[in-house]
Amino acid sequence: MREGFSKGTILQSSVPDSRFNGASSDALMKILVMGGTRFVGKPLVASLQEQGHALTLFTRGRQPAPAGVDHVVGDRGNPNDLEQLSGHHFDVIVDSSGRTLADSQAVLAITGAPSHRFLYVSSAGVYAGSDQWPLDEDAAVDPASRHAGKAETEAWLLKEGIPFTSFRPTYIVGPGNYNPVERWFFDRVFHGLPVPMPGDGSTITQLGHVDDLADAMVRALAVDAAANRIYNCSSRKGITFAGVVKAAALACGKDPEAVDVRHFDPSGLDPKARKAFPLRLSHFLTDVSRAERELAWSPRYDAITAFKHNFDLDYSKRPTTPPDLSGDAALIGSV
């Protein structure tokens, strides 16, 4: 950790509009990443380092930080820990771990607004349900969503005139995923165990590879028109639940037709719940054409190749342990 980061006094930032006339998008910049060592941050930090930017990572210190960065250890929910950032200004702030408006406000109150861009990882979970799919960035948001704080953050950044770019991924997948998406299916398909299937398996969901999200975020920094824009970011196409099981089987080297699929009636469950089954039980599909058009970005992975990437680089290398099927009984009875 650089000596310049020390305990200090929280300063309520009051910066004039000229703060936004800082680093150009193609210059080497000072970048603060809130997070950066767990999942989304890993490929993002690697790409930013490759470009030569000066990085500061603020994390809880549970994972090692890569060489060549300033690593500030603390809990962003603790004001005293955030004080370590006092007196330091950044061209870019990346917030991949904030869930509420207060989370992001607390950081900006100490550092001031970034001179170039505030990159925010939001969620497609902010959208309300709809009869028309896919959803674009102008679709209605759900104020009761558990991700509502992210939509509130986007609205506040726009209102305050802080230059930001926000990304709304659906399900983020890839090696290192700590959310039980790929792992849930691999635990059953790879071990030859029954796979609970909501309804007939025709519900459409959408997966996006973490590397594709990181690529879009880095590209946005070099696009002036991406300031104050929100982008859906995922794979180009949706996939049915039945297709997800097939993707898992192909990744594991199993015959998709031999998978023991057990159908259950999901009507009594919360359609947005992700407890016993890892995906929301309703359609979840967004239009990513804005990001493709404005960022000259194109996803490299679809659901099948993303599952294969996770299996080869992550799941297959983990110690073999008995899968946790404790939630399956509530869906399909005893296994």
**Token pair for 59:** 């994390």
What does the pLDDT read at residue 236?
A: 97
In the predicted model, is pLDDT for residue 3 greater than 50? no
Whole-angstrom distance, CA of residue 305 vs CA of residue 321: 25
- Sequence-distant (≥ 6) Cβ neighbours of residue 59 within 8 angstroms: 35, 36, 37, 38, 65, 71, 72, 73
Amino acid occupying residue 273:
A
Over the stretch 243-273, which tens digit does the pLDDT of each residue have?
999 999 999 999 999 999 999 999 888 877 6
Count of beta carbons in the 10 Å neighbourhood of residue 78: 10
| Domains of the chain: residue spans and CATH | 24-170+210-233 (3.40.50.720)
C-alpha distance from residue 315 to each of 14, 139, 190 (Å)? 48, 35, 10
Tell me if the bond preceding 134 is cis, omega within 30° of 0.
Answer: yes
pLDDT score for 128: 97
The structure's pTM equals 0.91
Alpha-carbon distance values, 306 to 43, 172, 299 (Å): 15, 10, 11
Confidence of residue 26 (pLDDT cuts 50, 70, 90): low
The values of phi and psi at residue 188, to 5°, are -95, -50
| Residue (of 308, 309, 173) closest to 252 by Cα position | 308
Hey, what are 223's tokens? 């696009």
pLDDT over 90 for what percent of the chain? 85
pLDDT tier, 138 (very low <50, low <70, confident <90, very high otherwise):
very high
Six-digit token string for 312: 């080869």
Q: Give the burial string for 263-280 (b: 16+ CB within 10 Å, else e).
A: ebebeebeeeebebbbbb
Structure confidence at residue 2 (pLDDT): 45
